[in-house]
Amino acid sequence: MTKNIITIELTCNGKTLLMGPGEDIDINAVTGLESSELEISTSDNALVDGASVDGKKIKPRAIHIEASFKSNKDNAANRAAVIKFFNPKYTGKALITCMGVSRNIEYELEGWTFKKTKNVDQKLGIIVDLLCPDPYMLNVDNFGKNMANITPLFAFPWMMLSRRASGKLDYNPKARGLLLGGATMGYRTLHKEVVLANDGDVSTGVQIQFIATRGEVTNPKITNTLTGQYMRVNIVMQQGDVLLIDTNERHQVITLNGVNCYQKIDRKSEPFQLDVGDNYLEYDADVNYTNLDVNLFYTPKYLGV
């Protein structure tokens, strides 16, 4: 049964602050987990009633937390630790679990303070305001798939003799069917198209990792077959090269072995997003696409938790 509780784990600059049941800090109140403010742009027409909607924008998410320590025994140490933790110079990450569902979100510290008390012997209370420039909550898992994978065929039960047999008749009768000239341990899957399911509330970007594992590759390309959008890089990859394409908003990059090469992008390329639902991606190359391993990584986004 899902417990109706909320826990918050704030991480910043290598330090962690835990709040919720079972922790030293209780959560007294929290807002901003369900939704962000919406900004609707409209324009007026002098001859038409009302207004026309030109666009909608989800504004940065504001999270307000009120919490307090369970005990006043370590007020001095707790006070020093909290002051050290809330450093506005660093970007933090919040892991929020609400009714059994966990989501991640990055935040900037907008402000914080201790609650006013009559004397220093009372339990410490904290008031925190976080600002999340990217308003979407992220799945705690990063989903991935290799489009050119090795499918294993080695299976159990597997019979092994205590000593090496000299002839076929020396083997256990159940194992004689395995006495072939060679054994296939797996096969290479060359699916040029793969389905990625986005169960989030909005579209999300994808990281594409091309690895030239078996030799030279010319101009690798990946296409969203539903929209026709594609990303193609005009480059010759040598064996061992790793090309990374990231279409996530605010993080769009193209690197070859860690070095920026965005200038090599095909001029008709578009950093496509994965729509909500099933997305069909297909990879190719001008020369030697079979020499590639293609890994795809994406994280669904949600409106709240």
Q: Tens digit of pLDDT for each residue in 25-43?
A: 999 999 999 989 999 999 9
d(CA 137, CA 34): 10
Domain annotation for the chain: domains and CATH numbers: 6-44+51-135 (2.40.30.200), 143-155+187-302 (2.60.120.860)
Q: What is the predicted pLDDT for the residue at 148?
A: 67
Q: What is the predicted pLDDT for the residue at 165?
A: 56
Q: What is the predicted pLDDT for the residue at 120?
A: 79
175: pLDDT strictly greater than 70: no
Q: How many residues does the chain have?
A: 305
Beta-carbon-side half-sphere exposure of residue 178 (alpha carbons within 13 Å): 16
Q: What is the predicted pLDDT for the residue at 79?
A: 95
User: pLDDT confidence of 17, banded at 50, 70, 90?
Assistant: very high
Retrieve residue 128's tokens: 């925190």
Retrieve residue 66's tokens: 């009120």
Residues 89-115 have pLDDT tens digits of 999 999 999 999 999 999 999 999 999
Lowest mean pLDDT among 39-53, 93-107, 251-265, 277-291: 39-53
Across the range 51-77, mean pLDDT stands at 94
Across the range 40-60, mean pLDDT stands at 91
Residues 189-245 have pLDDT tens digits of 556 889 999 999 999 999 999 999 999 999 999 999 999 999 999 999 999 999 999
Q: What is the predicted pLDDT for the residue at 156?
A: 46
182: pLDDT strictly greater than 50: no
Widest pairwise Cα distance in the chain: 98
What does pTM read for this prediction? Answer: 0.79
Q: Which residue has the higher pLDDT, 262 or 141?
A: 262
pLDDT > 70 fraction of the chain, expressed in percent and rounded: 85
164: pLDDT strictly greater than 70: no
Q: What are phi and psi of 103, to 5 degrees?
A: -140, 150
Q: What are phi and psi of 140, to 5 degrees?
A: -70, -15
Beta bridge mates, 299:
none
d(CA 272, CA 269): 9
Contacts of 199 (CB under 8 A, 6+ apart): 276, 300
Contacts of 292 (CB under 8 A, 6+ apart): 148, 210, 211, 212, 213, 217, 220, 283, 285
Q: What is the predicted pLDDT for the residue at 121?
A: 82
Q: Which residue has the higher pLDDT, 51 or 180?
A: 51
Q: What is the predicted pLDDT for the residue at 251?
A: 85
Across the range 252-257, mean pLDDT stands at 96
154: pLDDT strictly greater than 70: no
Sequential DSSP letters for the chain: -----EEEEEEETTEEEEESTTSSEEEEEEESSS---EEEEEEE-TTSSSEEEEEEEEPPEEEEEEEEES-STTHHHHHHHHHHH--TTS-EEEEEEETTEEEEEEEEEEEEEEPP-SSTTSPPEEEEEEEESS--EEESS-EEEESS-EEE---SS----SS--SSGGGS-GGGGGG--S----EEE---SEEEEEE-SSB-B--EEEEEE-SS-EEEEEEEETTT--EEEB--EEPTT-EEEEE-STT--EEEETTEE-GGGB-TT-----BPSEEEEEEEEEEE-GGGEEEEEEE--EES--
Across the range 50-78, mean pLDDT stands at 94
